[in-house]
């Protein structure tokens, strides 16, 4: 990793009072972000929460309407172009160049950074190996699987050896095997000292990778902290999920009276509690209801804070 | 905070990266492209030039095939620049999201639009020069002055590429380009002196076509091919340059409005 310049801040991204409107609609309604060197920061939120817009504004790809952004010590959008020389970006929508092979994609992308041909060519084998595409240098993009494309997009984002990597929903649409490979690669990058800023709506992804999270909804950050701390601060530690025939009656008569809090989605009832034993004993005794007893996780926090209704 | 979409273009040599990207794609298909560039004008010149021309006396003091060849250098340039700026440009901007990928690197939209315009003009030079080569092979080029067609065709290519990029910035989809072809490209083809002298047109139409770029490209190209210095050369060049310059700025403003807000 490139050592930080003497006297330069260790904040890789700082935004304060950030606002953005599309038409009359305030998509970012005044948020603060602070990402330090070497950390993995996750921005969580349902569809339409403003995650991608926030990311694009931080990169200077769209103009914001209020607040200030500093990316790697550069003011955004005024110095966005220069700041991006040290940034890698994995966008949500695949935009690999379909006219080129795997290796040509890396070569052409490296040229955009003004890197010398020799420098890029010397980096390509390592990048292909990192992406698990060592034998695919001359393969055309169309024949790659979704997972391969994602890995190549990640490798492409590293062609300029960036300090900070932005990933917008990096594993959306991938199968579990492919997701685990991406997570493993991101951990490698963190171990190398890279800083990561990712958006996701997969809670397990956020919980596994991120040192710190912010949950965003309707353009605002509604909670922020380490994954464990968020769970401890916002939700009871035990969950009993009850579903199927008779669940509704049970929830009304027993669940809601015994648990601290009960929520429902359709015919499934979620009872949140400090101590699940009385609930579990009651369910065991009845034997007729289907249930699941588990620890509370980030998804519970997320649903509590952003609600259970659909976001289309 | 918000950049003004009307702010002046930020010119930078970084546009070359965009040009080189497109050139690398083109190189893969160069043979097929070159065949098309050569075959198309050959068919027109042989078919129309000799077939129709055989029935005609001299046109504007030239055998018809020589008259037509000069027009076709310009119309091929126009077609090639327009297609590249519109269909291919729209694919890269909207369908493949190549522009997004480029702008994730340290390039700006200004670099991208300039790169696309210069690329489309470069490609149109090949089309224009292919017609010139065919005309030369058929013995229709009278003077080395015809070499001046190279810079002329590049300038005309820039003008038509800029107009095409304006359409691309406005297009909801590929179908939109049909309007431009039907309402602008095809009429220009017909009335700007490609197939017959503009003096054949009614006076009002002769006046009107002084405002469209193809007229001026043809007015420069025909004398150069037959070995004369064009009259009013500076005026014709100025019109093409204004189309290229103002067109580029308009395309840039419209593309910024589309992609950056």
Same domain flag for A40 and A186: yes
Count of all residues that appear for chain B in the document? 261
Same domain flag for A252 and A216: no
Q: Is any Cβ of chain A less than 8 angstroms from the Cβ of B20? A: yes
pLDDT at A94: 87
pLDDT at A149: 96
Same domain flag for A275 and A158: no
Same domain flag for A28 and A128: yes
pLDDT at B2: 58
Residue of A nearest to B94 (CA): A95
How would you class A3 by CB atoms within 10 Å of its CB: exposed for 0-12, middle for 13-18, buried for 19 or more? exposed
Among A184, A215, A231, the domain boundary falls at: A231
For residue A267, give the CATH number of its domain.
3.30.70
- Which of A95, A108, A160 minimises the CB distance to B100? A95
Q: How far is A300 from chain B (nearest CA, A)?
A: 34
User: Does some domain include residue A100?
Assistant: yes
pLDDT at A4: 46
Cβ neighbours of A77 in B, within 8 Å: 1, 3
pLDDT digits (tens, 9 = 90+) for B208-246: 999 999 999 999 999 999 999 999 999 999 999 999 999
Determine what percent of chain B falls in helix, strand and coil, rounding each to the nearest 5.
80, 0, 20
Same domain flag for A104 and A184: yes
Cβ neighbours of A97 in B, within 8 Å: 21, 96, 98, 101
Residue B7 neighbours by CB distance under 10 Å: 11
Same domain flag for A208 and A288: no
The residue extents of the domains of chain B are: 32-260
- Enumerate residues 77 to 96 of chain B having a beta carbon within 8 A of any beta carbon in chain A: 96
> Peptide bond before A77: cis, by omega within 30 degrees of 0?
yes
Mean pLDDT, chain B, whole residue set: 94
DSSP B185: I
Q: Residues in chain A whose beta carbon is closer than 8 A to a beta carbon of chain B?
A: 59, 61-66, 77, 81-82, 84-85, 89, 91, 93-100, 104, 108-109, 111-114, 160
**ipTM confidence score:** 0.91
pLDDT of residue B3 exceeding 80: no
Q: How far is A302 from chain B (nearest CA, A)?
A: 30
Which positions of chain A have pLDDT values less than 70? 1-9, 312
User: Does some domain include residue A1?
Assistant: no
Same domain flag for A26 and A112: yes
Same domain flag for A71 and A99: yes
Check CB contact under 8 Å for A113 and B261. no
The H or E element containing residue B73 is helix B64-83
- Which of A61, A89, A97 minimises the CB distance to B98? A97
pLDDT digits (tens, 9 = 90+) for B40-87: 888 989 899 999 999 988 999 999 999 999 999 999 999 999 999 999
Same domain flag for A254 and A127: no
pLDDT at A311: 73
pLDDT at B139: 93
pLDDT at B229: 93
Cβ neighbours of B260 in A, within 8 Å: 61-63
Same domain flag for A16 and A155: yes
User: Does some domain include residue A305?
Assistant: no
pLDDT digits (tens, 9 = 90+) for A173-197: 899 999 999 999 999 999 999 999 9
How many domains are there within chain A? 2
- Backbone phi and psi for residue A185, each to the nearest 5 degrees, phi listed first: -65, -40
| CA A108-A112-A118 angle, 5° bins | 60
Same domain flag for A150 and A17: yes
pLDDT at A47: 87
For residue A127, give the CATH number of its domain.
3.40.50.300
Location of structure tokens 């380009």: B177
Same domain flag for A102 and A146: yes
CA nearest to A62, candidates A53, A73, A71, A70: A53
Q: Around A267, how many Cα atoms within 13 Å sit in the side-chain half-sphere?
A: 7
CA nearest to A112, candidates B162, B13, B144: B13
Check CB contact under 8 Å for A65 and B1. yes
Range(s) of the domain holding residue A245: 236-295
Report the b/e string of A229-238 with b at 16+ CB within 10 A: ebbeebbbeb
Q: Is any Cβ of chain A less than 8 angstroms from the Cβ of B261? A: yes
Its pTM stands at 0.92
């Amino acid at each position: 990793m490139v050592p930080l310049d003497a006297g330069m801040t260790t904040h890789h991204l700082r935004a304060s009072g950030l606002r953005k409107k599309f038409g009359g609609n305030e998509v970012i309604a005044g948020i603060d972000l602070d990402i330090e060197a070497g950390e993995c920061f996750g921005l969580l939120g349902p569809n339409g929460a403003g995650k991608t817009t926030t990311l694009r504004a931080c990169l200077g790809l769209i103009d914001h309407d209020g607040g200030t952004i500093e990316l790697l010590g550069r003011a955004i959008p005024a110095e966005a172009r220069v700041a991006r020389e040290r940034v890698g970006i994995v966008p949500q929508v695949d935009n690999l160049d379909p006219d080129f092979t795997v290796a040509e994609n890396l070569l052409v992308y490296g040229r955009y950074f003004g890197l010398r041909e020799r420098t890029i060519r010397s980096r390509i084998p390592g990048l292909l190996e990192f992406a698990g595409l060592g034998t695919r240098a001359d393969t055309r993009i169309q024949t790659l699987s979704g997972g391969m494309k994602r890995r190549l997009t990640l490798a492409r984002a590293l062609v300029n050896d960036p300090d900070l990597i932005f990933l917008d929903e990096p594993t959306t649409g991938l199968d579990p095997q492919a997701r685990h490979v991406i997570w493993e690669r991101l951990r490698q990058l963190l171990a190398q000292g890279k800083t990561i800023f990712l958006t996701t709506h997969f809670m397990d992804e956020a919980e596994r990778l991120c040192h710190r999270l912010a949950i965003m909804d309707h353009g605002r950050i509604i909670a922020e902290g380490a994954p464990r701390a968020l769970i401890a601060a916002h939700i009871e530690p035990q969950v009993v999920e009850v579903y199927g025939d008779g669940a509704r009656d049970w929830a009304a008569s027993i669940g809601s009276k015994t648990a601290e809090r009960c929520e429902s989605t359709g015919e499934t009832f979620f009872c949140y509690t400090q101590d699940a034993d009385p609930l579990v004993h009651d369910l065991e005794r009845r034997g007729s209801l289907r249930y699941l007893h588990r620890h509370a996780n980030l998804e519970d926090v997320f649903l509590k804070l952003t609600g259970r209704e659909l976001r289309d | 905070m918000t950049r003004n979409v009307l702010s002046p273009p930020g010119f930078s040599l970084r546009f070359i990266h965009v040009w080189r990207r497109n050139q690398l794609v083109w190189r893969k298909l160069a043979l097929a492209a070159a065949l098309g560039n050569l075959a198309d004008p050959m068919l027109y010149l042989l078919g129309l030039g000799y077939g129709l021309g055989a029935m005609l006396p001299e046109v504007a003091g030239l055998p018809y095939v020589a008259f037509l060849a000069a027009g076709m250098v310009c119309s091929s340039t126009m077609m090639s620049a327009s297609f590249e700026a519109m269909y291919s440009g729209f694919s890269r901007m909207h369908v493949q999201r190549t522009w997004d990928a480029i702008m994730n690197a340290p390039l700006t939209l200004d670099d991208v639009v300039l790169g696309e315009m210069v690329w489309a003009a470069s490609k149109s030079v090949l089309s224009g020069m292919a017609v010139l080569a065919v005309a030369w092979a058929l013995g229709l080029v009278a003077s080395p002055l015809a070499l001046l067609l190279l810079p002329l065709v590049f300038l005309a290519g820039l003008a038509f590429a800029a107009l095409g990029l304006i359409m691309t910035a406005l297009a909801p989809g590929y179908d939109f380009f049909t309007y431009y072809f039907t309402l602008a490209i095809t009429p220009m083809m017909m009335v700007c002196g490609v197939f017959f002298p503009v003096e054949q047109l009614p006076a009002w139409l002769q006046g009107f076509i002084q405002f469209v770029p193809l007229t001026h490209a043809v007015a420069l190209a025909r004398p150069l091919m037959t070995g004369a210095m064009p009259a009013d050369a500076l005026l014709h060049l100025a019109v093409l340059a204004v189309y290229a310059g103002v067109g580029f700025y308009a395309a840039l403003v419209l593309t910024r409005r589309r992609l950056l807000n």
